[in-house]
Amino acid sequence: MDERKDWHLTDALHHEQGRGDPFAAAVRATRMPMIITDPKLPDNPIVFANEAFQKLTGYDREEILGRNCRLLQGAETDPDAINAIRTAIADGGDIEIDLLNYRKDGSAFWNALYLSPVRDDTGDIQFFFASQLDVTARIDAQSRIARQKRHVEQQVEKRTADLQSALDAQKLLLHEVDHRVKNNMTMIGSILRLQLREVSDEDSAHQMRAMMSRIDALATVHRRLYQSDDVTRFDIGAYAVNLAGDLVRAVTDRDIGLVTDVRRAEIPAGQAAVLGLIVNEILTNCVRHAFAVGDEGHISIFARAEESRVLLSIADNGMGSTRRDQPAAGLGGIIIERLSKQAGTQVTWQTDASGTRADLTIKSEVT
């Protein structure tokens, strides 16, 4: 390298401030790559480039001086960045920008460029001063992080889409199965009713009506299942009121009213069929045995949800009897006794002159 030219350059650079300026010496020696261009010369050529700049770009001073800075640009340099620099120079403003530059050997590096005009006392631009910094490591890290972020985001999107479609498929399946179960329940009911029409003796008809009533109770359970937003829960109180309404309307030889005090009382959907059958037996018992033909009376239903249990009470104001302080005889009794054990439900009976009452304590959480 030609030291004499260096000195000459320093002279040229600071011709207005005089020779031997310590600041000029600092600029020459700093590790920060720096250049100075002269906009008064054609094509704003580089008139000074320090040691660090030569090291960064791989060009010797002779190869740089007199050239425009665009010699650092290459195929992948962002044209928008170049335009921004051009505009700043044309406007006499400063600019700070990261752009992709190329060394003499063709290798690329990210250049954090800072460029600003140097003005004289009258405000005219004498030079442009530019410092460069190789920030390839930072940009690479950034783009690696951005790439990783994109990758993770894509993965999350894909998984979310997979989950969504699995959920949609499951909903569709639930809907389809629910539809089929309901249709089949309807068909079972229809077959039983049609069969009942063929039965001639009263005892068989009685048996079939009892069967019909149990199938109807299950039908009511299935009709009410999956109606709320939470398909895992079943409101046993609302079901009891629905079923009781059907039952009392179906008896024409007695006038039975309904008194209800029912709040949301949800049990796991898996218990719905079993508890639906129990409630049906209790209600049927009230409707059939509490009132004599021609009687007036009422059945009251009370339902509440407590912390982890549901309380359901079914009472009538009909005739109490010592026989009725326990579950009914026959299959009805067996259903209440056996199914309540299965459903973690306690049933207690009270009966006196004012009527009969069954209190159900139902575990409302699956354990």
Partner 1 sequence: MKRCAGPLKFLVVEDEPLISMDIEMMIADAGHQVIGTAATLDEVQAMSQEQELNVALVDLHLARGSSGFDVSDHIQMRWPGAIIVFVTANPSEIPEDFGGAHGVIAKPFSSAGFVSAMQYLKEGICDPPPVSPQPGSFVASKAFAASWGAN
Task: Return residues touching partner 1 (CB under 8 A).
Answer: 178-179, 182-183, 185-191, 193-194, 197, 212, 216-217, 219-220, 222-223, 241-242, 245-247, 249-250
- Cβ nearer to partner 1, comparing 136 with 260: 260
Query: Treating both helix axes as pointing N-terminal to C-terminal, what angle do 202-224 and 236-250 enclose, rounded to 10 degrees?
Result: 150
- Cβ nearer to partner 1, comparing 61 with 214: 214
CA distance 32 to 29: 9
Q: How far is the CB of 246 from partner 1 (least distance, A)?
A: 4
Backbone φ, ψ for residue 227 (5° rounding): -85, -30
C-beta of residue 46 within 8 angstroms of C-beta of residue 64: yes
- Cβ nearer to partner 1, comparing 242 with 361: 242
- Cβ nearer to partner 1, comparing 94 with 246: 246
- Block residue for tokens 């170049």: 82
Q: How far is the CB of 80 from partner 1 (least distance, A)?
A: 53
Q: Give the Å distances, CA to CA, from 105 to 38, 72, 241.
A: 26, 11, 88
Q: How far is the CB of 314 from partner 1 (least distance, A)?
A: 17
- 179: tokens are 């539809």
- Cβ nearer to partner 1, comparing 152 with 172: 172
- Cβ nearer to partner 1, comparing 39 with 276: 276
**Triad 348, 352, 355: Cα angle to 5°:** 85
Q: How far is the CB of 250 from partner 1 (least distance, A)?
A: 4
CA distance 366 to 55: 74
Alpha-helix runs per DSSP H in the chain? 3-13, 22-29, 51-57, 61-64, 79-91, 136-198, 202-224, 236-250, 272-285, 330-342
The residues near 108 (Cβ < 8 Å, ≥ 6 apart) are 74, 76, 100, 101, 102, 136
Sign, Cα dihedral of 19, 24, 26, 31: negative
- Cβ nearer to partner 1, comparing 169 with 177: 177
Q: How far is the CB of 364 from partner 1 (least distance, A)?
A: 23
Q: How far is the CB of 188 from partner 1 (least distance, A)?
A: 8
Q: How far is the CB of 161 from partner 1 (least distance, A)?
A: 26
Q: How far is the CB of 292 from partner 1 (least distance, A)?
A: 20
- Cβ nearer to partner 1, comparing 220 with 340: 220
Query: Treating both helix axes as pointing N-terminal to C-terminal, what angle do 202-224 and 330-342 enclose, rounded to 10 degrees?
Result: 30
Q: How far is the CB of 327 from partner 1 (least distance, A)?
A: 23
What is the layout of strands, in order, in the sheet containing 309-316? 255-262, 296-305, 309-316, 355-363, 345-352
Report the DSSP beta bridge partners of residue 125.
119
- Cβ nearer to partner 1, comparing 63 with 178: 178
The residues near 201 (Cβ < 8 Å, ≥ 6 apart) are none
